[in-house]
Amino acid sequence: MNHIFLNEAIEVEKAGLKVNIPIKDTDFVIPQEFQEKLDEHPALKNAFDALMPGRQKGYLIYFSAPKQSKTRESRVEKCEQQFSMGRD
């Protein structure tokens, strides 16, 4: 059965078709600590917006996971440097 899906995927690739998966806005909950940094630093917001949606969601999940605000702030600060250097 999996070979059927594989063959279909190959045909889609050969045809040059793109698969568009709608992204729900509810999937992206921006933690307050990160939103404050985005508001303070437009370059950071531009760097974050340039990331692929899946990468953005991954960071948002990473930033949101800790229960303590201090830990969330620490994670945001660590990643802020990566964004400003153009790394993700």
- 25-49 pLDDT, tens digit per residue, is 555 688 999 999 999 999 899 988 8
Q: 52 pLDDT exceeds 80?
A: yes
Distance between CA atoms of residues 27 and 57, nearest Å: 8
pLDDT over 70 (residue 21) = no
Q: What is the pLDDT of residue 15?
A: 86
User: Is the torsion defined by CA of 43, 81, 76, 24 positive or negative?
Assistant: positive
Lowest mean pLDDT among 12-21, 43-52, 66-75: 12-21
Q: How much is the pLDDT for 53?
A: 86
- Domain boundaries along the sequence of the chain: 21-84
pLDDT band per the 50, 70, 90 thresholds, residue 80: confident
Q: What is the mean pLDDT of the chain?
A: 82
pTM, 2 dp? 0.63
Q: What is the CA radius of gyration of the chain?
A: 17
- Contact between 31 and 61 under an 8 Å Cβ cutoff? The reply is no
